Amino acid sequence: MLFPVRFDLCERAFSFRHAWRGVGLVIRSQHNAWIHLLATALVIVAGFLTVLSWLEWCALVSAIGLVWVAEALNTALEFLADEVSSEKRELIGKAKDAGAGGVWLAAITAAVIGLIVFVPHWIVLVESR
């Protein structure tokens, strides 16, 4: 049997509450998520002020999404690791470090994408003055 339980669209829609709760949990519990939230807002405002092409918006939205997904997965990893063991354990520490490294790499990638998108617009703005 491919689908052992009957598909219910209302239940699927209701399950989005769990996802929203998870996003809220990341924002409330992770100080770095506050930085990501500020960066997200600044990039969006800068994008509207710069008048970006749809392709530039796609790049920025993808970069923003990459960072948020990395932060959410890292948060899940940290919560799970803390639940498994409250004592310091080498492999759990390595797992947490790897997760944090993933967020850091995503943030660097997003910053580079932001520079690729914004710097040409800023150069034009500076040269036109």
Gap between the Cα atoms of 70 and 59, Å rounded: 17
- Degrees (nearest 5) of the Cα angle 25, 102, 31? 35
pLDDT score, position 3: 63
How sure is the predictor about 126, in pLDDT bands with cuts at 50, 70 and 90?
Answer: very high
Q: What is the pLDDT of residues 40-99, one digit of tens each?
A: 999 999 999 999 999 999 999 999 999 999 999 999 999 999 999 888 899 999 999 999
* Per-domain boundaries in the chain: 32-127
Q: Residue 84, CB half-sphere, CA atoms under 13 Å: how many?
A: 13
* Of residues 125 and 10, more confidently modeled: 125
* pLDDT at 11 (0 to 100): 80
Q: Confirm or reject CATH 1.10.3720.10 for domain 32-127, answering yes or no.
A: no
Percentage of residues of the chain with pLDDT beyond 90: 82
In the chain, the N- to C-terminal Cα span, in Å, equals 68
Alpha-carbon distance 34 to 31, whole Å? 5
